[in-house]
Chains A and B, each alone.
Chain A
């Protein structure tokens, strides 16, 4: 075991942090939120220039050849400033699906475009009735003489409006909840029958509900009926990535809280001189570090070929990072007092992002339940 980043990884973090230092002050971020896209296309272009959008892809497709570790480190840097751009759905979620299941032709067509910033993607799997159950899919794909036809709807699709192409899961056979019979498709966002209704999510990022009505302009991703295994891998990679992001968010909140405790004077002293405040901050630090350990666990697990032990570790990590993020963000608002309650101050935005990531792909209660089922 070796927990230190390599020199290359350190350089990567430095250059990403430098770029974010120039582009992602809290005030700049507010400006991006107000743009029609809900993020900054200019910053997106900079991500492409820096090679970040090609991070987890093989070099033969114009990628950077990075691993889950580099993704974790970049997401951590993103978490520190609450990046709004569609990196997560495009590079992490759709990227993982393409890496695992894409044909050579699909990879050639899409990965270089992702890497250069001209193709944004979304991963449309969740449905309204499914809550966190990955196999609960009722959107259908029917094979006709003319090809596949998709009907159904997807909900809370991260950056669903911004996407040029959408990966959609649909049932090609079996009943609701059946793991077999789910298939992935790549749908052109402009295809006839695709309707998107966008909205702002609590974390300031944009999401969309997507309805599919008699959509025929689709291509298969992976095997027919083989979607579930891909979805699982995508979700696991997603969990590892948002775990890293949550670590970054916790670091930022703890730094803000410390800074505030030094400057805020009450009863004649900075509040950070009071032991009850100090111990709360010590608790916040401990949760941050336990959370970091869980992000590392998730990251080291996603390439584990043993499916059961991989799922187990991911579940442990998802619970741990979710609880850590919740504790730190609730405490950070509390330590700030009234100012922490305001929209104009940053800490509440971190709070809300943690609230969103905590329930992305399943909340702690959901994964505790899974873990509980294994005992004995």
Chain B
């Protein structure tokens, strides 16, 4: 047992911090500091900078361009990147598709897709959820029928984040509608978003933003060579994907960034004739969040250091459900804090017309962007297995019920 960071780990954190400070493009940083989500070009540009440094494929083995970091190092990197704040690595590419290809892909599939995924030459999205298959994913209906050396895909996906930006989509389809168990008739396909028959329709979320989509597949022809692993074994791949990479699931750096922003805004906000930062109730609320963030930080290190020891051989740690639940509760509580600090400035939707009418107003812009972040983060306890599903997982895995 050694509960402190090693000198190497501390030096690594410093190295990451300095690299981000010196290489994150200023316009990206300025926008994100105000609370705006990164634009597509921000994410692409930053991931390419990281890839050039050898850091983008952070969880992949060295032979596929990974940096060979320990789980603790990955954790440190993710935290520093979020706190900067800098755009996150595209998780579809790095933490979802990459490990799946490495584990299940053919050599040809690996060579074709891995380097492009690392460099964000291909933007991937995830076609899992359907209108009738949310928490109950295995009830999905999108069908793929074999026709020679192609599958013909028909059906609909929903909540497909960034499908409108995406070049490719990894999709769960039903290849055997008569399978004995629902999980047994599913396959995992890679689909080029330019294939005829695909329609992407935006879903505007409550933050007013366009992150989500519906994706319709109408007689979409997908080469059989684009199937990952065996036919009807896609559920194994999906389970691997969902259980594999839980590092960073809590996105603790994002919560810290929200608190830092709230505290710094609170110095400029008037509350009963004094800066809000001097209000005892506000300070107590921040203190409580610091307590909860620290507990989560340690739990997170416990999970990743156990996964380091298991060297990928271990079963998914049930503690990762704790990370998901507590991490998303904190994302919601911290973004809520930032919105409460901005007070009435939380209500305007900052848009071009406001920018043109007014002198640049950082407080209003940050208030508006912070509200967007708060609204969108209501999804955090819904996606990736709702928090209620996580408690079901804990009930089975830990309590054995």
How many residues on the B side are at the interface (Cβ–Cβ under 8 A)?
45
- Once the chains bind, are B291 and A289 in contact (CB under 8 Å)? no
Residues of chain A within 8 A (CB-CB) of B277 are 375-376
Chain A minimum-CB-distance residue to B394: A282
Task: Judge whether B313 is part of the interface by a CB distance below 8 angstroms.
Answer: no
Task: Judge whether B399 is part of the interface by a CB distance below 8 angstroms.
Answer: yes
> Complex Cα distance A316/B309, Å?
28
- Once the chains bind, are B395 and A282 in contact (CB under 8 Å)? yes
Chain B minimum-CB-distance residue to A9: B1
Extra inter-chain contacts (6) besides given A1-B301, A293-B295, A297-B3, CB under 8 Å: A1-B4, A1-B6, A278-B399, A294-B294, A376-B263, A376-B283
Interface of chain B residues 1 through 21 with chain A (CB within 8 A)? 1-6, 9
> Complex Cα distance A23/B9, Å?
44
Choose the segment among A133-141, A220-228, A353-361, A366-374 that binds chain B (4+ C-beta atoms closer than 8 Å): A366-374
Interface of chain B residues 271 through 300 with chain A (CB within 8 A)? 277, 280, 283-284, 286-288, 290-292, 294-299
8 A–B contacts from the bound complex (CB under 8 Å): A1-B5, A4-B1, A282-B392, A300-B4, A320-B295, A369-B284, A375-B263, A376-B263
Chain B minimum-CB-distance residue to A324: B295
Say whether, besides A273-B401, A371-B291, A290 and B395 are in contact (CB < 8 Å). Answer: no
Say whether, besides A279-B391, A293-B295, A371 and B305 are in contact (CB < 8 Å). Answer: no
> Complex Cα distance A348/B3, Å?
33
How many residues on the A side are at the interface (Cβ–Cβ under 8 A)?
44
- Once the chains bind, are B283 and A3 in contact (CB under 8 Å)? no
Which of A1, A291, A299, A319 is close to B72, meaning CB atoms less than 8 Å apart? Answer: A1
The residue among A258, A273, A375 with the most chain B CB atoms within 10 A of its own CB is A375
Residues of chain A within 8 A (CB-CB) of B292 are 290, 320
> Complex Cα distance A69/B326, Å?
26
Which of A278, A286, A293, A373 is close to B283, meaning CB atoms less than 8 Å apart? Answer: A373
Task: Judge whether A190 is part of the interface by a CB distance below 8 angstroms.
Answer: no
CB distance from A297 to the nearest CB of B (A): 5
Residues of chain B within 8 A (CB-CB) of A371 are 287, 290-291
- Once the chains bind, are A300 and B3 in contact (CB under 8 Å)? yes
Say whether, besides A278-B401, A282-B399, A283-B391, A319 and B291 are in contact (CB < 8 Å). Answer: yes
Interface of chain B residues 289 through 338 with chain A (CB within 8 A)? 290-292, 294-299, 301-302, 305-306, 309, 319, 322, 325-326
Residues of chain A within 8 A (CB-CB) of B291 are 316, 319-320, 323, 368, 371
> Complex Cα distance A319/B285, Å?
13
Interface SS majority for chain B = helix
Say whether, besides A1-B301, A283-B391, A316-B290, A294 and B3 are in contact (CB < 8 Å). Answer: no
Residues of chain B within 8 A (CB-CB) of A313 are 294
Task: Judge whether B398 is part of the interface by a CB distance below 8 angstroms.
Answer: yes
> Complex Cα distance A261/B399, Å?
10
Residues of chain B within 8 A (CB-CB) of A319 are 287-288, 291
Task: Judge whether A272 is part of the interface by a CB distance below 8 angstroms.
Answer: yes
Residues of chain B within 8 A (CB-CB) of A323 are 291
CB distance from A324 to the nearest CB of B (A): 8
- Once the chains bind, are A258 and B295 in contact (CB under 8 Å)? no
Residues of chain A within 8 A (CB-CB) of B325 are 286
Residues of chain B within 8 A (CB-CB) of A262 are 401
Instruction: List A residues at the B interface (Cβ < 8 Å).
Output: 1-6, 9, 69, 258, 261-262, 272-273, 275, 278-279, 281-283, 285-286, 289-294, 296-297, 299-300, 313, 316-317, 319-320, 323, 368-369, 371-373, 375-376
Chain A minimum-CB-distance residue to B300: A293
> Complex Cα distance A1/B7, Å?
10
Residues of chain A within 8 A (CB-CB) of B116 are none
The residue among B283, B291, B388 with the most chain A CB atoms within 10 A of its own CB is B291
Task: Judge whether B62 is part of the interface by a CB distance below 8 angstroms.
Answer: no
> Complex Cα distance A294/B292, Å?
10
Task: Judge whether B210 is part of the interface by a CB distance below 8 angstroms.
Answer: no
> Complex Cα distance A275/B399, Å?
12
- Once the chains bind, are B3 and A286 in contact (CB under 8 Å)? no
A-B pairs with lowest CB-CB distance, top 10: A300-B3, A293-B298, A372-B283, A371-B287, A282-B391, A282-B394, A290-B295, A278-B395, A372-B287, A293-B299
Task: Judge whether B146 is part of the interface by a CB distance below 8 angstroms.
Answer: no
Which of A279, A281, A297 is close to B388, meaning CB atoms less than 8 Å apart? Answer: A279
Task: Judge whether B111 is part of the interface by a CB distance below 8 angstroms.
Answer: no
Residues of chain A within 8 A (CB-CB) of B306 are 3-4
CB distance from A223 to the nearest CB of B (A): 30
CB distance from B29 to the nearest CB of A (A): 23
Which of A281, A290, A317 is close to B296, meaning CB atoms less than 8 Å apart? Answer: A290
The residue among A282, A285, A316, A323 with the most chain B CB atoms within 10 A of its own CB is A282
CB distance from A150 to the nearest CB of B (A): 37
> Complex Cα distance A281/B299, Å?
18
Residues of chain A within 8 A (CB-CB) of B3 are 1-3, 69, 296-297, 299-300
Residues of chain B within 8 A (CB-CB) of A292 are 299
Chain A minimum-CB-distance residue to B275: A376
Residues of chain B within 8 A (CB-CB) of A296 are 3, 298, 302
Say whether, besides A3-B305, A289-B319, A290-B295, A69 and B1 are in contact (CB < 8 Å). Answer: yes
- Once the chains bind, are A286 and B2 in contact (CB under 8 Å)? no
Task: Judge whether B267 is part of the interface by a CB distance below 8 angstroms.
Answer: yes
Interface of chain B residues 352 through 401 with chain A (CB within 8 A)? 388, 390-392, 394-395, 398-401
Residues of chain B within 8 A (CB-CB) of A300 are 3-4
CB distance from A250 to the nearest CB of B (A): 13
Residues of chain B within 8 A (CB-CB) of A289 are 299, 319, 322
CB distance from B156 to the nearest CB of A (A): 30
CB distance from B391 to the nearest CB of A (A): 4
> Complex Cα distance A54/B326, Å?
39
Residues of chain A within 8 A (CB-CB) of B72 are 1
- Once the chains bind, are B286 and A372 in contact (CB under 8 Å)? yes
- Once the chains bind, are B287 and A375 in contact (CB under 8 Å)? yes
> Complex Cα distance A35/B203, Å?
71
> Complex Cα distance A296/B390, Å?
25
> Complex Cα distance A109/B286, Å?
48
> Complex Cα distance A285/B325, Å?
12
Say whether, besides A279-B395, A290-B326, A372 and B2 are in contact (CB < 8 Å). Answer: no
